[in-house]
């Protein structure tokens, strides 16, 4: 199977690359810049690294399409994301805009741009956050991050509806509270555990589960 993963140089994305390679899949690791950890996996015949893919760039899909030639995508994982700290009750416009571009607009437009390489049986999985859940928001703050992940969820559900006739399911998964640089190393689980659970959710993804919001541990989350 051909698997394409954004934000693959570190964190959860890097562990997704590692797990899919261990399963023998062909992995196309997209990133802005590679890392020593990702380079260390490059001895695998099954790994192709494509640098210079900023998901917020309008050129991103063209760059990926050129790299893939006519080859189809079996699994597309939109993993790249940012979380910016905000002063209490004083988020900057730039911070909110950046998070909307990277976390919501970019992944949706990149997926639309890659539709020529998706077909019946292909799967799309978006890495969202339960911080984008309006029902689950009991602590406030994080305006830009919460708004961006809620927007991503809305776009992903539209994609799920629009791609249903083509037989392409769209998954929406919260990885858990994961020890990566995004959380300053804090979290309930490490990135390898999160990647394993996310891949279980990808394996489980079906047309019936398309457009629904799951925790990587398998539980369904409220919008």
Catalytic residue numbers, as ranges? 145
- Do 135 and 223 contact (CB within 8 A), yes or no? yes
- Do 37 and 84 contact (CB within 8 A), yes or no? no
Min dist CB 145 to ligand NAP, Å, is: 8
| Residue 51 binding ligand NAP, by CB under 6 A | no
Q: Which of 56, 193, 197, 216 binds ligand NAP (CB under 6 A)?
A: 56
Q: Which of 1, 67, 187, 190 binds ligand NAP (CB under 6 A)?
A: 187
Beta strands in the chain (DSSP E): 2-5, 26-30, 47-50, 75-78, 123-127, 170-174, 178-179, 189-190, 213-215
Min dist CB 36 to ligand NAP, Å, is: 12
At 5 the three-state DSSP class reads strand
Residues 6+ apart with CB under 8 A from 162: none
Of 159, 157, 154, 69, residue with least CA distance to 112: 159
| Residue 110 binding ligand NAP, by CB under 6 A | no
Min dist CB 30 to ligand NAP, Å, is: 7
| Residue 102 binding ligand NAP, by CB under 6 A | yes
| Residue 62 binding ligand NAP, by CB under 6 A | no
Contacts with ligand NAP by CB under 6 A: the residue count is 29
DSSP conformational letter for 10: S
Residues 66-85 vs ligand NAP: string with x where CB under 6 A? -------------xxxx---
Tell me how far apart the alpha carbons of residues 20 and 67 are, in angstroms, rounded to a whole number: 19
| Residue 113 binding ligand NAP, by CB under 6 A | no
| Residue 97 binding ligand NAP, by CB under 6 A | no
- Do 9 and 31 contact (CB within 8 A), yes or no? yes
Chain positions contacting ligand NAP, by CB under 6 A: 6-7, 9-13, 31-33, 54-56, 79-82, 102, 127, 129, 174-175, 177-178, 180-183, 187
């Amino acid at each position: 199977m051909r698997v394409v993963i954004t934000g693959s140089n570190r964190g959860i994305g890097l562990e997704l690359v590692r797990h899919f390679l261990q399963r023998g899949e062909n992995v196309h690791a997209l990133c802005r810049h590679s890392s020593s950890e990702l380079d260390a996996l490059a001895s695998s015949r099954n790994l192709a690294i494509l640098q210079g893919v900023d998901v917020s760039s309008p050129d991103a899909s063209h760059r990926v399409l050129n790299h893939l030639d006519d080859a189809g995508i079996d699994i597309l994982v939109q993993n790249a994301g940012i979380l910016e700290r905000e002063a209490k009750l004083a988020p900057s416009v730039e911070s909110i805009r950046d998070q909307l571009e990277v976390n919501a607009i970019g992944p949706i437009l990149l997926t639309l741009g890659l539709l020529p390489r998706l077909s019946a049986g292909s799967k799309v999985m978006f890495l969202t956050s339960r911080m984008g859940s309006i029902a689950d928001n009991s602590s406030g703050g994080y305006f830009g991050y919460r708004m961006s992940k809620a927007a991503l969820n809305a776009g992903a559900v539209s994609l799920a509806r629009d791609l249903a006739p083509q037989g392409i399911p769209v998954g929406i998964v919260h990885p858990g509270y994961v020890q990566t640089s995004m959380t300053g190393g804090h979290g309930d689980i490490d990135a390898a555990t999160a990647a394993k659970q996310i891949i279980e959710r990808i394996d489980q993804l079906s047309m019936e589960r398309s457009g629904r919001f799951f925790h990587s541990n398998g539980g369904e989350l409220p919008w």
